[in-house]
């Protein structure tokens, strides 16, 4: 692998290692403005979205010990990582996908455990962590 590609995979691996969750989404048909809107909505909850090549994501996930999910990594892929709880991120994603009819979630991981899109939708319905702790 060329050094610049290895650097990209290494950087992506670091993001995956630091994040308690990883959401993989399809961003096909998303305009630049829509992508910017999604980034703006995710920022307040400490999450970022990055467009990635599927091959780079496969390698980074393999390096980090994620389960094999190559069949889900097709088409145009973006990865959402964060620093905090996944529930508010899932809620933002569900609202965004409903409003814009784009950005369908492919698969998600919480602490390296695979979550289906149905399980991610259930997470989106949970109240905020602060409410659950009260």
One digit per residue, pLDDT tens: the chain, 134 residues?
A: 688 888 888 888 989 898 999 988 888 878 888 889 999 999 999 999 999 999 999 999 888 888 888 888 888 889 999 988 888 888 888 888 888 777 677 888 888 888 877 888 787 777 666 666 66
CATH topology for 3-133? Alpha-Beta Plaits (3.30.70)
CB burial string 45-54: b at 16+ within 10 A, e below: bebebeebee
Helix axes 54-63, 3-18, angle to 10 degrees: 60
Dihedral of CA atoms 31, 34, 38, 41 in degrees, nearest 10, equals: 160
CA dist 41 and 37 (Å) reads 6
Query: Which pTM was predicted?
Result: 0.84
């Amino acid at each position: 692998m060329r050094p610049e590609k290895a650097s990209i995979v290494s950087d992506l691996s670091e993001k995956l290692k630091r994040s308690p969750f990883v959401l993989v989404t399809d961003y096909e048909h998303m305009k630049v403005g829509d992508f910017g809107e999604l980034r703006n909505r995710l920022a307040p909850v400490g999450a970022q979205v990055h467009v990635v090549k599927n091959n780079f994501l496969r390698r980074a996930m393999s390096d980090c010990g994620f389960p094999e999910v190559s069949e889900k990594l097709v088409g145009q892929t973006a990865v959402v990582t964060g620093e905090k709880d996944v529930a508010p991120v899932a809620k933002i994603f569900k609202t965004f996908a409903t409003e814009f009819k784009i950005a369908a979630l492919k698969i998600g991981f919480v602490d390296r455990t695979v979550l289906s899109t149905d399980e991610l939708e259930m997470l989106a319905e949970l109240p905020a962590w602060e409410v659950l702790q009260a």
